[in-house]
């Protein structure tokens, strides 16, 4: 069996950034490299029904080794990494027996991962931590999940004395751009329920998430020479600023927590002639979510009312909904995961996701799919890290869920 640490590092070194500007699936050709590697490894370890489709969705089966009917369950992780931060030439750094102090990630650039900035580091004193080299993200989101599922399958194949039903696994592209479940073939997958291994800190167990929409605000202006601009120039950037300042100032990601929703401006590009604002709109409560979208459109209308013709256009699309309404009728699947964590010596931390997961969309496609920790911290940036012991526990939880499902 390959060491889980070395398996994760091998996957992390492969650049699999998704591309939000692409209309194809996978959105980046480089995701194929990891997908094809996983297919090869799954076949070599003895998994059955190993497939990869024209969109790089990888699926495989761990056959049942028990003489009774057991519900088919699944485990899912995504192969892509965030397009928001560099994933080129990822060079994971392994820090054994972490001493609880600052970790120098990059001496040349004086980049330090410090418990003064990230207090949760102190939780892992004495453990082995994998970090970046300070120049890229790490990719524990979600290659830790991929490695954990792969290692759990290998472990069960090597230990037939652990009784289990049929298990399906899948690895998909493009989760980070919200499209990971778009072309996921739930019928082909054939599981009664599944778990995404895509959470953060050890112990996380999540079956609630934001309702989510994306909005592109396009503001038109008129560009003329500033020397003759009087009553002729219309500066789209200033109009865009008016739009931004008209939204609630205390309802942004950096000012909210828990179940509080927000408006998040994550990208803006502008000239006098045209400015584009990219927003995401989030709320756990469906009624509040709809109210947020309505307010967003009202602000655009109010800004337009100040001009002779509309200058602000909003293209808004729903992305996913809170999977809670699909999970609650099937709470036994959360209970099994909770028991699996306790059996592994992990204290469950049941909480709502301040974001989304493929499991949200899959739940609405008929595959109830809570989310389980993969162990990483500080995703999507140079301070990302994952404790090896957390990954080992995640692998153990997978095995426990499978065996507990067979027992029950």
Which residues are identified as catalytic?
80, 175
Q: Which residues contact 222 (CB under 8 A, 6 or more apart)?
A: 232, 233, 234, 272, 273
> Is the previous residue joined to 384 through a cis bond, with omega within 30 degrees of 0?
no
> Quick one: tokens of 17?
């950034």
Alpha helices in 46-176 (DSSP H): 140-158
Locus of tokens 């909770």 = 338
Distance in angstroms (rounded) separating the CA atoms of residues 284 and 372: 19
Cβ proximity of 351 and 258 under 8 Å: no
Half-sphere exposure of 87 (CA within 13 A, CB side): 27
Q: What are the Cα distances from residue 120, in Å, to 101, 110, 114, 202, 259?
A: 12, 21, 10, 11, 21
Beta-ladder partners of 217? 277, 314
Cβ proximity of 374 and 146 under 8 Å: no
Distance in angstroms (rounded) separating the CA atoms of residues 130 and 304: 50
Distance in angstroms (rounded) separating the CA atoms of residues 28 and 16: 7
Q: Which residues contact 153 (CB under 8 A, 6 or more apart)?
A: 42, 45, 47, 60, 62, 167, 169
Distance in angstroms (rounded) separating the CA atoms of residues 116 and 97: 19
Q: Find the helix packing angle between 140-158 and 31-45, rounded to 10°.
A: 10
> Quick one: tokens of 279?
């927003």
End-to-end CA distance of the chain, in Å?
29
> Quick one: tokens of 57?
């969705």
Single out the residue of 270, 195, 287, 278 nearest to residue 236, CA to CA.
270
């Amino acid at each position: 069996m390959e060491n889980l640490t070395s398996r994760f590092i091998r996957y992390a070194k492969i650049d699999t950034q998704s591309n939000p500007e692409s209309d194809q699936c996978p959105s980046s050709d480089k995701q194929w490299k990891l997908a094809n590697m996983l297919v090869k490894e799954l076949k070599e370890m003895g998994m059955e029904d190993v497939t990869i489709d024209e969109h790089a969705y990888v699926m495989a089966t761990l056959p049942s080794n028990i003489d009774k009917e057991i519900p088919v369950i699944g485990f899912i992780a995504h192969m892509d990494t965030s397009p928001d931060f560099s994933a080129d030439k990822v060079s994971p750094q392994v820090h054994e027996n972490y001493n609880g102090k600052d970790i120098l990630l990059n001496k040349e650039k004086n980049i330090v991962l410090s418990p003064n900035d990230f207090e949760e580091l102190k939780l892992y004193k004495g453990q082995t931590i994998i970090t970046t080299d300070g120049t890229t993200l790490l990719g524990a989101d979600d290659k830790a999940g991929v490695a954990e599922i792969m290692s759990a399958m290998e472990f069960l194949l090597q230990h037939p004395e652990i009784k289990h039903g049929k298990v399906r696994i899948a690895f998909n592209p493009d989760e980070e751009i919200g499209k990971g479940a778009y072309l996921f073939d739930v019928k082909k997958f054939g599981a009664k329920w599944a778990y995404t291994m895509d959470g953060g800190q050890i112990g996380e167990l999540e079956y609630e998430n934001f309702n989510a929409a994306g909005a592109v605000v396009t503001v038109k202006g008129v560009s003329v020479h500033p020397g003759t601009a009087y009553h002729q120039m219309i500066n789209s950037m200033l109009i865009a600023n008016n739009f931004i300042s008209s939204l609630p100032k205390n309802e942004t990601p950096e000012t909210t927590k828990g179940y509080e929703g927000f408006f998040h401006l994550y990208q803006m590009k502008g000239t006098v002639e045209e400015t584009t604002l990219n927003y995401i709109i989030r709320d756990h409560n469906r009624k509040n979510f709809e109210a947020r979208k309505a307010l967003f459109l009202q602000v655009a209308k109010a800004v337009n009312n100040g001009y002779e013709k509309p200058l602000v256009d909003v293209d808004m699309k729903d992305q996913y909904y809170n999977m809670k309404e699909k999970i609650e009728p099937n709470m036994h699947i959360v209970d099994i995961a909770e028991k699996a964590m306790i059996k592994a010596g992990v204290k469950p931390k049941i909480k709502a996701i301040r974001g989304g997961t493929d499991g949200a969309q899959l739940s609405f496609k008929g595959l109830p799919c809570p989310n389980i920790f993969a162990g990483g911290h500080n995703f999507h940036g140079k301070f990302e890290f994952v404790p090896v012991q957390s990954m080992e526990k995640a692998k153990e939880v997978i095995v426990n869920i499978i065996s507990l499902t067979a027992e029950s």
